[in-house]
């Protein structure tokens, strides 16, 4: 009997997954609850509706989002093709006419052979081969099912994203390594502030422009994930007693305890990225760049991710998913899109592509695949599914996720070389994978289920 793949959610990830399955000759039942049941942000019944910006970010091949898009193009991504057909002028970015893009994507999926679209809400996780791609605004009934499946501590309804800077852009003449009360190794990089520096920073923070909160996003955050500017609203000293407290920290160079500190925590094993601990924020991106550059040591910082706080449904992928996007406890259940903890339109579509390819390989009894870690897509998948990651927050594609180069290049030359390496490795991987050979020997990965669940 012909096997069917059930895809839940017809957003960017679900539409891309359907296409990848259809082009491999597989049968798909795609479930999308709109227009019968709308989310708080969508306005139409179209598949792949963009709920906010109409930009799919940079097209430059030296920018991480540009590299990811180029990789997806080489993997024959439907989302990228439809986006290019509907592009509007936006300098070096790939921006689209949002209505014709979503209409075009809907028509393309409707025309796929062996793909049936059901306009209904899925409340229970189906049996058989399934791709769950219900996005940041997953319906409450299905969210409840996910809580039962994964445990309430493994499904999140909001993200609280702190900015991340590249290690090489931190001024190490200012930063000092220490853990509070010398507990643990010198795990943190600390950026000390004098009283004057602290007050100048707070004044800038209080007057910085903030992103308005949508009605459906109003919520009472836990104390541990309040935006820093809202903590500062409570009083100018509050941050100095909260995330910026210097208690237990001595700057050995001065022998003094600073008035306040910003702590930076290592974000990846390669030590190329550091996050600003407790600095989730709803300041606009422009305001963040300006205000955070006032922190001593971050004057020339390169922000690979800026802070945010959103309504967002995502799972604790490092604890639950393989890099192939299979749930570790049921190899025929795939997750895709923003709910895997990737952040952004193209990242979501890219995970849909991988889930679609691997669901097709499961049917064909071929081992699942993951692009190499030197590619933007491979690096992103490994980041979100690294079981060593303890505190997980969604991530967008950036060069800090890729393994360091063998030669120590800097800035533009480094980005160009990383982009070249990514595309060359993707090219080789596509050749080998399409030729029937698995480029990455996933059987060697202990987290990848070897048995094909039926």
Report the residue from 7, 26, 34, 268 that binds ligand FAD according to the rule CB under 6 A. Answer: 34
**What one-character-per-residue DSSP string does 217-269 give?**
G-----GGG--HHHHHHT-TTGGGGTTT--TT--BTTTTB--SEEEEEEE-ST
Chain positions 361 to 390 lying near ligand FAD, rule: CB under 6 A, are none
13 binds ligand FAD (CB under 6 A): yes
Chain positions 299 to 328 lying near ligand FAD, rule: CB under 6 A, are 311
Compare residues 121 and 251 and give the one whose CB is closer to ligand FAD. 121
Compare residues 64 and 449 and give the one whose CB is closer to ligand FAD. 64
Report the residue from 139, 324, 331, 433 that binds ligand FAD according to the rule CB under 6 A. Answer: 139
8 binds ligand FAD (CB under 6 A): yes
Report the residue from 268, 338, 374, 393 that binds ligand FAD according to the rule CB under 6 A. Answer: 338
78 binds ligand FAD (CB under 6 A): no
Compare residues 140 and 184 and give the one whose CB is closer to ligand FAD. 140
Chain positions 46 to 65 lying near ligand FAD, rule: CB under 6 A, are 51-53
Report the residue from 64, 136, 307, 371 that binds ligand FAD according to the rule CB under 6 A. Answer: 136
29 binds ligand FAD (CB under 6 A): no
Residue 439 C-beta: closest distance to ligand FAD, Å: 26
Compare residues 136 and 192 and give the one whose CB is closer to ligand FAD. 136
Rounded Cα gap, residues 69 and 80, in angstroms: 7
Compare residues 9 and 371 and give the one whose CB is closer to ligand FAD. 9
Residue showing the smallest CB distance to ligand FAD in the complex: 11
The full 3-state SS of the chain, as one line of letters, equals: CCCEEEEECCCHHHHHHHHHHHCCCCEEEEECCCCCCCCCCCCCCCCCCCCCCCEEEECCCCCHHHHHHHHHHHCCCHHHHHHHHCEECCCCEEEECHHHHHHHHHHHHHCCCCEEEECCCCCCCCCCEEEECCCCCCCHHHHHHHHHHHCHHHEEEEEEECCEEEHHHCCCCCCEEECHHHCCCCCEEEEEECHHHHHHHHHHHHHCCECCCCHHHCCCCCHHHCCHHHHHHCCCCHHHHCCCCCCCCCECCCCECCCEEEEEEECCCCCCEEEECCCCCCECHHHHHHHHCCCCCCCCCCEEECCEEEEEEEECHHHHECCCCEECCEEEEEECHHHHCECCHHHHHHHHHHHHHHHHHHHCCCCCCCCCCCCHHHHHHHHHCCCCCCCCCCECCCHHHCCCCCCCCCHHHHHHHHHHHHHHHHHHHHHHHHCCCCCCCHHHCCCCCCCCCC
Report the residue from 20, 134, 280, 324 that binds ligand FAD according to the rule CB under 6 A. Answer: 134
Report the residue from 79, 94, 122, 240 that binds ligand FAD according to the rule CB under 6 A. Answer: 122
41 binds ligand FAD (CB under 6 A): yes
Total chain residues near ligand FAD (CB under 6 A): 33
Residue 105 C-beta: closest distance to ligand FAD, Å: 10
Report the residue from 33, 72, 325, 395 that binds ligand FAD according to the rule CB under 6 A. Answer: 33
Compare residues 94 and 246 and give the one whose CB is closer to ligand FAD. 94
Residue 205 C-beta: closest distance to ligand FAD, Å: 24
Residue 154 C-beta: closest distance to ligand FAD, Å: 18
The interaxial angle of helices 64-74 and 376-384, nearest 10 deg, is: 110
137 binds ligand FAD (CB under 6 A): yes
344 binds ligand FAD (CB under 6 A): yes
Compare residues 99 and 237 and give the one whose CB is closer to ligand FAD. 99
Compare residues 18 and 379 and give the one whose CB is closer to ligand FAD. 18
Structure tokens at 207: 């007057």
Judged by the rule CB under 6 A, the positions of this chain that interact with ligand FAD are 8-14, 31-34, 39, 41-42, 51-53, 121-122, 133-139, 142, 311, 337-338, 344-345, 348
């Amino acid at each position: 009997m012909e096997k069917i793949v059930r895809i839940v959610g017809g957003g960017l990830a679900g539409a891309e997954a359907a296409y990848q399955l259809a082009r491999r000759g597989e049968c798909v039942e795609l479930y999308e609850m709109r227009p019968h049941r709308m989310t708080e942000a969508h306005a139409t019944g179209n598949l792949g509706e963009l709920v906010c910006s109409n930009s799919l970010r940079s097209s430059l091949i030296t920018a991480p989002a540009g590299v990811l898009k180029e990789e997806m193009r080489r993997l024959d991504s439907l989302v990228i093709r439809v986006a290019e057909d509907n592009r509007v002028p936006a300098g070096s970015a790939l921006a689209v006419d949002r209505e014709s893009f979503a209409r075009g994507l809907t028509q393309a999926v409707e025309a796929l052979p062996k793909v049936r679209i059901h306009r209904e809400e899925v409340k229970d996780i189906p049996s058989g081969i399934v791709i769950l791609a219900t996005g940041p605004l997953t319906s409450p009934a299905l969210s409840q099912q996910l809580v039962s499946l994964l445990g309430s501590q493994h499904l999140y309804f909001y993200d609280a994203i702190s900015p991340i800077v590249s290690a090489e852009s931190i001024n190490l003449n200012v930063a000092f390594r220490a853990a509070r009360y010398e507990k643990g190794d010198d795990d943190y990089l600390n950026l000390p502030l004098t009283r004057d520096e602290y007050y100048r920073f707070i004044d800038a923070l209080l007057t910085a422009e903030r992103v308005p909160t949508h009605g459906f996003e109003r919520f009472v955050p836990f104390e541990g994930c309040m935006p820093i500017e809202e903590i500062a609203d409570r009083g100018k000293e509050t941050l100095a007693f909260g995330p910026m407290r210097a208690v237990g920290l001595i700057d050995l160079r001065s022998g003094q305890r600073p008035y306040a500190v910003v702590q930076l925590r290592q974000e990846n094993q390669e030590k190329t990225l550091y996050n600003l601990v407790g600095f989730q924020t709803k300041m606009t991106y422009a305001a963040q760049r300006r205000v955070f550059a006032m922190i001593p040591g971050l004057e020339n910082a390169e922000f690979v991710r800026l802070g945010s706080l959103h309504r967002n449904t995502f799972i604790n992928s490092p604890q639950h998913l393989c890099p192939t996007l299979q749930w570790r406890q049921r190899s025929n259940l795939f997750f895709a899109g923003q709910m895997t903890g990737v952040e952004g339109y193209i990242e979501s579509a890219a995970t849909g592509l991988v889930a679609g390819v691997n669901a097709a390989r499961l049917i064909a009894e071929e081992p699942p695949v993951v692009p190499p870690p030197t590619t933007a897509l491979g690096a992103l998948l490994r980041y979100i599914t690294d079981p060593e990651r303890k505190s997980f927050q969604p991530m967008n594609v950036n060069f800090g996720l890729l393994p360091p180069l063998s030669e120590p290049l800097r800035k533009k030359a480094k980005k160009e070389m990383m982009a070249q390496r990514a595309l060359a490795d993707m090219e080789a991987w596509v050749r080998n994978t399409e030729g029937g050979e698995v480029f990455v020997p996933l059987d060697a990965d202990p987290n990848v289920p070897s048995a094909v669940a039926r």
